[in-house]
């Protein structure tokens, strides 16, 4: 399982729903949420309060990347479309779509907690 610690559950889940994750609509107020990923992997979100409930000294990380997630898109055009959809919805674009030297169309958007989420597709 991939676990994310979030400051605002509803905001985080709204972002990841836009990336196609199947997250129940009634999960926004829950302190812990899980969703299935392909191949049996799961992704989970916990509020900062949940983490502090068993680790009172926990503090939010500062600076740098806390985690890197990447979502494959069907085509270079879809990378552009997903990036545009997210940024038009108010999410912060970190790196606008570009043709990377390693043969992919690539972009990065920040989730509500500032984690970079990559969007990519093979360039051909």
pLDDT value at residue 68: 75
49-72 tens-digit pLDDT: 998 898 888 888 775 556 778 899
Confidence of residue 77 (pLDDT cuts 50, 70, 90): very high
- The distance of Cα 78 from the centroid of its chain, to the nearest Å, equals 17
pTM passes above 0.85: no
pLDDT value at residue 66: 64
């Amino acid at each position: 399982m991939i676990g994310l610690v979030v400051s605002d559950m509803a905001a985080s889940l709204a972002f990841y729903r836009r990336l196609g994750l199947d997250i129940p609509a009634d999960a926004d107020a829950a302190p812990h949420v899980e969703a299935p990923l392909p191949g049996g992997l799961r992704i989970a979100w916990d509020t900062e309060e949940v983490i502090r409930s068993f680790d009172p000294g926990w503090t939010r990380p500062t600076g740098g990347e806390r985690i890197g997630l990447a979502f494959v898109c069907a085509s270079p055009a879809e990378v552009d479309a997903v990036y545009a959809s997210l940024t038009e919805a108010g999410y912060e674009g970190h790196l606008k779509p570009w043709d990377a030297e390693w043969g992919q169309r690539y972009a990065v958007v920040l989730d509500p907690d500032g984690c970079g989420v990559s969007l990519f597709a093979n360039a051909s």
